[in-house]
Chain A
Amino acid sequence: MIWREAITRRGLLGKWIALSAVLLFRRRVEGEELPFELASEVPEGRTLQERLTPILAGRTPRHERVTLTMPPLAEDGGTVPLQLDVESPMTDLDYVQKLYLIADQNPDPLVFSASLHPGAGSARWKLNIRLADSTRIRAFAEMNNGDLFVNEVEVAVLVGGCG
């Protein structure tokens, strides 16, 4: 049996079962319609610098007004909850114009960029994001007057638990 083979490192029988199961599986997927398309390569990644430069546009963001709340330990990198709050009156004269979220270690660090209208009346969001690895996450808020604010947190991703 396969589990025994792995435990005891013996057992031709185990190998035989493993082989026949694989053959069966191949036959079944052949010609079957898949619910998704296949690609031969993974999409190209982006560098952190590539994503940060246009956001910063030469500015140094201040560590104020933005609060990013995430669990220090993500139990499942596939869905990591986050909450983003920006202190702002959200009036026509003073509002959050842009929000950016960067996960340094993701293949594409830019998780989203968003535009806001003062009509939202508030800038408090919750989302679930993917993290490929333990990483620093940065949330940037750009005000309508061009001021740039940031908040950063570190999240450890406990890989595992996924078949």
Chain B
Amino acid sequence: MLKIGRRAVRLPRHEYGKDDVIEVKTRIIHPNHNGRHKYEDKGYIAQHFIHLIEVYYGDQLIISMDASAGISQNPYFTFALKATHSAPLRVVWKDTHGEEYTETVDIRV
């Protein structure tokens, strides 16, 4: 079974060179409860979702997304990146319970 917070950042399977625009795929296992689903007659499943996704290329913050619970369960986010230099690519997810998850991959050009 997949636990909450299990995450993946994937670079292309093929070779890429300097200044190539590559597709970076990210996903985190998270229920992303939006607070609107009833649990029997006991109430509603409380909000619990990823509210912030940040992407750092080297030390530079290149993407910062404030998300609502309108993102699907197991948030999936893919973005195009210009591979200008070799540096670590770090993705950070933060959820409404204060948990923080990080995953780093190396961009090599």
Q: Which residues of A contact B (CB under 8 A)?
A: 29, 34, 36-43, 78-80, 90, 101, 103, 106-108, 110-117, 119-130
Whose C-beta in chain A lies nearest to the C-beta of B31?
A36
**Complex A-B, nearest 4 residue pairs according to Cβ-Cβ distance, in ascending order:** A121-B82, A111-B70, A122-B80, A124-B80
Taken residue by residue from 3 to 43, chain B's Cβ proximity to chain A (1 for < 8 Å, 0 otherwise) reads as 00000000000000000010000000001011110011011
List 16 A-B pairs, Cβ < 8 Å. A34-B39, A36-B33, A39-B35, A42-B44, A43-B35, A107-B34, A107-B36, A113-B66, A116-B63, A119-B62, A121-B80, A121-B84, A125-B80, A127-B77, A128-B71, A130-B72
B65 within 8 A of A: yes
B68 within 8 A of A: yes
Chain B nearest CB, measured from A134 CB (Å): 15
Whose C-beta in chain B lies nearest to the C-beta of A126?
B78
Q: Are A130 and B64 in contact (CB under 8 A)?
A: no
Q: Which of A34, A110, A112, A125 neighbours the largest number of chain B CB atoms within 10 Å of its CB? A: A112
Q: Are B70 and A129 in contact (CB under 8 A)?
A: yes
Residues of B within 8 A of A42 (CB): 35-36, 44
For the complex, give the distance between the alpha carbons of A128 and B30 in Å.
Answer: 13
Q: Are A122 and B36 in contact (CB under 8 A)?
A: no
Chain A nearest CB, measured from B87 CB (Å): 10
Q: Are B21 and A127 in contact (CB under 8 A)?
A: no
Whose C-beta in chain B lies nearest to the C-beta of A118?
B62
- From known contacts A36-B33, A115-B63, A117-B62, infer whether A110 and B70 are also in contact, taking CB-CB under 8 Å: yes
Q: Are B82 and A125 in contact (CB under 8 A)?
A: no
For the complex, give the distance between the alpha carbons of A41 and B63 in Å.
Answer: 33
Q: Which of A40, A101, A126 contacts B44 (CB 8 A)?
A: A40
Q: Which of A37, A90, A108 contacts B69 (CB 8 A)?
A: A108
Q: Which of B21, B43, B67 contacts A121 (CB 8 A)?
A: B21
For the complex, give the distance between the alpha carbons of A109 and B36 in Å.
Answer: 14
Chain B nearest CB, measured from A116 CB (Å): 6
For the complex, give the distance between the alpha carbons of A56 and B74 in Å.
Answer: 30
Residues of A within 8 A of B47 (CB): 39, 43
For the complex, give the distance between the alpha carbons of A128 and B72 in Å.
Answer: 6
Residues of A within 8 A of B43 (CB): 38-40
For the complex, give the distance between the alpha carbons of A127 and B33 in Å.
Answer: 17
Q: Which of B34, B63, B70, B77 contacts A126 (CB 8 A)?
A: B77
Residues of A within 8 A of B83 (CB): 121
For the complex, give the distance between the alpha carbons of A122 and B22 in Å.
Answer: 9
